[in-house]
Structure 1
């Protein structure tokens, strides 16, 4: 896709998201649930955190998209995830894998790699997580990445050859790869790294965009652009991380096609 076409697709998908209000089933980590829910609501989607293993499978087929985030993985959540993914796929629903802290920790690394067999619609992670998910050695420390987004390009390409619909590698610049294209999104602000849950909210927003776009690559670009621009706008008024968190929700609420067209930076 050419950049102008991509920008147009972001605007269209943002309008679709606001019109359809997709219901996103979030099997996510305990630290970020509230912020994730508020970010989805601010953008125009609807969150749900249905976690009981028996209910998770039932609900996954009812929701418009599924997010699987392994940030605070435990045994019960693993059972719920293993039940929800096949149900979502059987219902034709997209699902996003967020491999939080994969690499340094063995249980989640083994579990997340196993989930690749279910062909995630999108993988969203930092460079170290994407490298580790693909079987390489990343320089991550917990949820922190020690690698730049571009360093994970080949690993992302390998994930796509294994059936992943698109890969969104977040960082100072966000790298997006998919069968239909490749893009580098330069929007964002350093203060986004000072608030717990911004990256995890990105995974949820990605699931929401996957619900309204048939092209995972397009959905990934929309996610990076919209959240990045919202981060920039929030940083213009926030004096610190506390104010920034609230300002980011406000910016997600107010972002529109005009802001996207004016501020998007694609390479």
Structure 2
């Protein structure tokens, strides 16, 4: 398992510049340590998620097989559990992986895709929510539904804004002990006491299958490098969204953007991350 250290982020709500500096440091740590990230994820996004991790400097392992998932989670640096296509085998593998991650103190990320209306994933998401995830990442409608304060969005699309979910996200973070990351035009990330907003990004992230799912995997990678899960979630979001801005600048649409995003993540420097962070 990857060794994690403190990230030295200020606890002052107004000192967001500390998060920009720490994000640069954590990107360096990911590149240096090449953390193994186990992904139990949406079948639609497996390849893209693996490539995003590779481009950023992490090592993906797309292992969602019962009797193997728990073994791998015990040696991984971080684990992603994404409920986009929760087959019976994936559900069993997710529970095994979470149990092993908890036992070995491996950080893990819960991405409750499309919870609220669909019963199988909603029941599993509630069970995993109560299993002490390190980070919970979703759109506003998913976070509201997971907290019992909403009925979910339109499929995988949110019908609520991140600010609509701000109070609920803080309450959910306090209740579960997880950092809660709410994706939107301005991402909101909170541990219940501290809240950071990230204004970087580009609308084409919502036009590529796996834009949000890959971010959950990046959060698992960054969480492998620090004990401050809020700093990890902010750093991963910044890397993803700053790279999206670079990718959009050289693209003509979502197709070329998806390819350019991998290049932008690969060439992103810690200095760029710190200098271009738009945090509040």
- Secondary structure, in 3 states, of the residue corresponding to 1:112? helix
Is structure 2 residue 243 aligned with structure 1 residue 230? yes
From 8, 11, 16, the counterpart of 2:24: 11
Is structure 2 residue 56 aligned with structure 1 residue 33? no
Shift of 1:159: 1.6
Contact 2:36 2:59 in 1 (8 A): yes
Is structure 2 residue 233 aligned with structure 1 residue 216? no
**Aligned position for 2:83:** 70
Q: 2:269, 2:23 → 1: CA distance?
A: 10
From 119, 125, 130, the counterpart of 1:106: 119
Q: 1:183, 1:36 → 2: CA distance?
A: 25
Contact 2:115 2:152 in 1 (8 A): no
Q: How many matched pairs?
A: 267
Contact 2:170 2:193 in 1 (8 A): no
Q: 1:64, 1:261 → 2: CA distance?
A: 24
Which of 75-84 and 132-141 deviates more? 132-141
Unaligned runs of 5+ in 2: 1-9
Is structure 2 residue 132 aligned with structure 1 residue 119? yes
- Secondary structure, in 3 states, of the residue corresponding to 2:272? helix
Q: 1:74, 1:122 → 2: CA distance?
A: 22
**Aligned position for 2:5:** none
Q: 1:112, 1:158 → 2: CA distance?
A: 17
**Aligned position for 1:200:** 213
If each structure's helix is expressed as a fraction of its own residues, which one has the higher value?
1
From 120, 139, 155, the counterpart of 1:142: 155
Contact 1:127 1:171 in 2 (8 A): yes
**Following TM superposition, where does structure 1 have runs of at least 4 consecutive aligned residues deviating by more than 6 angstroms?**
none
Q: 2:169, 2:274 → 1: CA distance?
A: 27
1:211-265, CA deviations, whole angstroms, 9 ceiling, x for partnerless residues?
A: 0111111011111111110100100000011100000000110111221122110
Q: 1:94, 1:240 → 2: CA distance?
A: 35
Change (3 A) 1:11 1:143: same
Q: 2:193, 2:249 → 1: CA distance?
A: 34
Q: 1:28, 1:20 → 2: CA distance?
A: 23
Shift of 1:158: 2.1
TM-score normalised by L of structure 1:
0.97
1:84-140, CA deviations, whole angstroms, 9 ceiling, x for partnerless residues?
A: 101111111000000000112111111101111211000010000000000011551
- Secondary structure, in 3 states, of the residue corresponding to 2:79? strand
TM-score normalised by L of structure 2:
0.93
- Secondary structure, in 3 states, of the residue corresponding to 1:10? helix
